[in-house]
Amino acid sequence: MTTTVKLNKNGTKNNPVLALWEKHKNDLIPPLVGVIGFLLLWEMTSHLPGMRLPGPSSLFTDERTRILLLYPFYDRGGLDKGLFWQTMASLGRVAQGYSLAAIVGISVGILVGTQPFLDKALDPIFQFLRMVAPLAWVPIALVALQQNHPAAIFVIFITSVWPILINTTEGVKQIPQDYINVQKVLQLSKTKFFFKILLPSALPYIFTGLRIGIGLAWLAIIAAEIVMSGIVGIGFFIWDAYQQNYISEIILAVIYIGAIGLILDRAIAYLQKLIAPGQ
Amino acid sequence: MSAFSRRRFLTTAGTSALAAVFLKGCLGNPPEPGGQTGSTPVASPIALSPEMTPETTKIKLGYIPIVESAPLIVAFQKGFFAKYGMTEVEVSKQANWASARDNVVIGSGGGGIDGGQWQMPMPHLITEGIITSGNKVPMYVLAQLNTQGNGVAIAKMHAGKGLHLDITNAADYIKSFPSNSGRKFKAAHTFPNVNQDFWIRYWFAAGGVDPDNDIDLLAVPPAETVQGMRNGTMDAFSTGDPWPYRILSEDIGHMAALTAQIWPFHPEEYLAIRADWVDKNPKATKALLKGLMEAQKWCDDPNNRPELISIVSGRNFFNIPADILKPPFAGSYEMGDGQAAINDFKKGPLYWKDDIGSVSYPYKSHDLWFLVESIRWGFHPGYLKDIDSVQQIIDKVNREDLWREAATEAGFTADIPEGTSRGIETFFDGKTFDPNNPEAYLNSLTIKRI
């Protein structure tokens, strides 16, 4: 392969990495400055006298945490697995609870949005239940379901279903009157109305709900995995580290949780672009 | 366009090359920590006669990652359960005591547990539905797991105030806390109405401090309690190994007393399993007990302690660095606050035998003490009415007969106690508990809720 150096518009020599940097630097510099500044500030405060919180450097200076940091894929069997496997196991649970929440949230949301009576009847219940914290659902789910795994999935489901449901309802209620008039004038069939008018116009709301929901589903993972006990998963990992007071391990796990949360959010946003471009 | 795709190609190739290097470095397992003690071979299975072949090879036992659960983990890891035919035992780490309680109510069929490690008298309370919102799940106490290995820690700000084993002279300091500091003296344990709650209550009351009225006593997770002891919002902590060692080595406070001093060779935690499982699988229960007994014997050999530590310290079990576990498993405790250090193997956790009798055997007289002490503090009013009703619960829950049969079958006949009582128990303050006359014990106590 020939690797001749291309001349760019200005006629100067340039390599591709630098060119990429030139192109995106206005997008990249602010977040980089933000992140590095935050880490520096954190590291400095951790050296203040009387400060107990270890700095970000503890991820590397603490021997046990360093192993976790450098070997995310290790597997000594049982609970003794790298953070990649812990995260994947948790992601599987979140996927189950969240899929259920998406199905139930969207379908009930559409039903409630199209039936004003149901909307008025159920709204106070929804608003009430969505305030309940994930941990508070744990004992209720256990007593009601009498099963460990379903209870954990239920906790994720119940935490993430509300924004999906409420946003879908709102989206359906917000269909412009003009569109409904069009349906009447053209005498569209119910299926046609659903697919051609209701769904497209409610879609942005639904996706907003889905994005908030995935964040909440991921937040519920610690509560869900405490229920299950003795399993591989990032939530139980944090709980175990907390019991032994391993702060730098918790910090590392929190970074994983945050990063996965970010990726999940962007994934749903990407999905939205695919399904409903330009909205 | 061609420039763009080349650029893209280069960045893609570059990142994947980087990723490959990164993956190669990080894939696989980290090097084993140095100084790994050579492990002795795993026990090999024995030939089982039909009378000894277990009905099932499967059971799920819950445990909490503290020294009390060591024999369960050893029996599992060293193949002692498998030796007697229990090849599919699962030991499952529980998030906390409340999770263990909820999981045993669910049972292994629903993803919970069949039994495991318990503080006392949890099996009795679960049997009666007292701590499971009326949901009665009969359980059997089958063996004691260990003795000792617990103690009372005091925050550093109270150094030099005489908060040691006997606090008779320091009682006024504790009682005058509200007028001097604007709040009550605050003490914590990890779960209400069980072992650690009893130890700290006994210690306070023996020194003339009423744990219900003179102080605040509540259940708090260990990590939070230790944090509170650091920043001055928590004063005392009833805790178990290896927290005492951590509290001393991190200069958070001192040990007022080890439970080995409060009540030498006291009963600690137990193996208990759901009654429906035991009734269905009596031979499997005995096989399990035999494996446990052999593990307990193994744990008590000082030569095996280094290997014991390397087994339990891993992330799979305790998730505690081996160095922190070494001192307690050697019975070596810094007490701090000018007290002499303790260095006696027999003051640390023991699993099979102690100077008074058997550790593994579940004496009914010990069950009785836990329930009588519950009456003393007025726990569960309406359920634990009198000594008679308590005796009935014990006869239902304590299955020392199964322990005896298992010990006989395994050939541990020399270590089988004669009776179901260990006799008169003596505490550090001179009080005695005669299992034949628990009323006299209750009458001898000054601070009580009856």
Indicate which CATH number applies to the domain containing A173. 1.10.3720.10
Q: Does residue A17 lie in a domain region?
A: yes
Q: Which amino acid, one-letter code, is at B269?
A: E
Per-residue pLDDT at B23: 59
How far are the Cα atoms of A87, A211, B72, B195, B364 from residue B68, in angstroms, in the given order?
A: 30, 45, 9, 12, 20
Of the candidates A6, A139, A244, the beta carbon closest to that of B320 is on A244
What is B50-147+266-444's CATH number?
A: 3.40.190.10
Given a cut of 60, whether residue B404 has pLDDT beyond it is: yes
Residues A43 and A91 grouped into a single domain:
no
Top pLDDT among A1 and A146 is at: A146
Residues A185 and A142 grouped into a single domain:
yes
Given a cut of 50, whether residue A2 has pLDDT beyond it is: no
Per-residue pLDDT at B50: 86
User: Tokens 């300091």 appear where?
Assistant: B173
Within B109-242, residue ranges assigned H as helices are 122-127, 171-175, 177-181, 195-206, 222-231
List the domain range (segments joined by +) for residue A235. 83-275
Q: Does domain B150-262 have CATH number 3.40.190.10?
A: yes
Per-residue pLDDT at B385: 84
Residues of A in contact with B133 (CB under 8 A): 143
Q: Does residue A73 lie in a domain region?
A: no
Question: Quick one: which of A120, A111, A129, A125 has its CA closest to A168?
Answer: A111
Share of chain A above pLDDT 70, in %: 94
Q: Does residue A58 lie in a domain region?
A: no
Residues A270 and A219 grouped into a single domain:
yes
pLDDT in tens, A187-197: 888 888 888 88
Rounded to the nearest angstrom, the minimum Cα separation between B330 and chain A is 21
Residues of B in contact with A64 (CB under 8 A): 321
Q: Does A10 touch chain B (CB under 8 A)?
A: no
Rounded-to-integer distance, Cα B106 and Cα A147, Å: 6
Given a cut of 70, whether residue A4 has pLDDT beyond it is: no
User: Tokens 């058997």 appear where?
Assistant: B358
- As a whole number of angstroms, the longest Cα–Cα distance in chain A is 75
Q: Does residue A114 lie in a domain region?
A: yes
Task: Pick the residue from chain A with its C-alpha nearest to B26.
Answer: A71
Rounded-to-integer distance, Cα A179 and Cα B295, Å: 75
Top pLDDT among B14 and B57 is at: B57
Per-residue pLDDT at A278: 62
Top pLDDT among B313 and A56 is at: B313
Question: Quick one: which of A171, A184, A179 has its CA closest to A197?
Answer: A179
Given a cut of 90, whether residue A95 has pLDDT beyond it is: yes
pLDDT in tens, A103-112: 999 999 999 9
Q: What is the mean pLDDT of residues A238-255?
A: 87
Per-residue pLDDT at A70: 84
Q: Which two three-digit tokens encode residue A213?
A: 């929901």
Residues ≥6 apart with Cβ < 8 Å to B297: B351, B352, B412
Given a cut of 80, whether residue A13 has pLDDT beyond it is: no
Lowest average pLDDT, out of A241-245, B10-14, B217-221, goes to B10-14
Of the candidates B11, B92, B94, the beta carbon closest to that of A17 is on B11
pLDDT in tens, A28-74: 888 889 989 998 998 888 888 777 788 888 888 888 888 888 888 88
Q: What is the mean pLDDT of residues B163-191?
A: 92
Highest mean pLDDT range out of A64-78, A138-152, B19-33, B400-414?
Answer: B400-414
Write out residues 220-239 of A within 8 Å (CB-CB) of B.
Answer: 226-230, 236, 239
Residues A33 and A94 grouped into a single domain:
no
Given a cut of 90, whether residue A175 has pLDDT beyond it is: no
Q: Which amino acid, one-letter code, is at A239?
A: W
Q: Does residue A71 lie in a domain region?
A: no
Q: What is the mean pLDDT of residues B356-373?
A: 96
Given a cut of 60, whether residue B24 has pLDDT beyond it is: no
pLDDT in tens, B79-132: 999 999 999 999 999 988 999 999 999 999 888 999 999 999 999 999 999 998
Query: Quick check: B28 and A71 CB within 8 A?
Result: yes
Q: Is the dihedral of CA B153, B156, B158, B163 positive or negative?
A: positive
Strands, E, within B207-355: which ranges?
A: 215-219, 236-240, 253-258, 270-274, 332-333, 342-343
Q: Does residue A67 lie in a domain region?
A: no
Residues A102 and A47 grouped into a single domain:
no
Quick one: pLDDT band at residue B34, thresholds 50, 70, 90? very low
Q: What is the mean pLDDT of residues B360-376?
A: 96
Q: Which two three-digit tokens encode residue A221?
A: 């993972």
Q: Does B69 touch chain A (CB under 8 A)?
A: no
Residues A145 and A14 grouped into a single domain:
no
Question: Quick one: which of B386, B374, B390 has its CA closest to B448?
Answer: B374
Residue A151 has phi, psi (to 5 degrees) of -65, -40
Element (H, E) at B153: strand B150-155
Query: Quick check: A240 and B29 CB within 8 A?
Result: no
ipTM value > 0.85: no
Given a cut of 70, whether residue A10 has pLDDT beyond it is: no
Q: Does A22 touch chain B (CB under 8 A)?
A: no
Q: Enumerate the domain spans of chain B.
A: 50-147+266-444, 150-262
Given a cut of 80, whether residue A264 has pLDDT beyond it is: yes
Rounded to the nearest angstrom, the minimum Cα separation between B28 and chain A is 5
Query: Quick check: A146 and B93 CB within 8 A?
Result: no
Q: Does residue A66 lie in a domain region?
A: no
Per-residue pLDDT at B1: 45
Residues A16 and A92 grouped into a single domain:
no
Q: Does A1 touch chain B (CB under 8 A)?
A: no
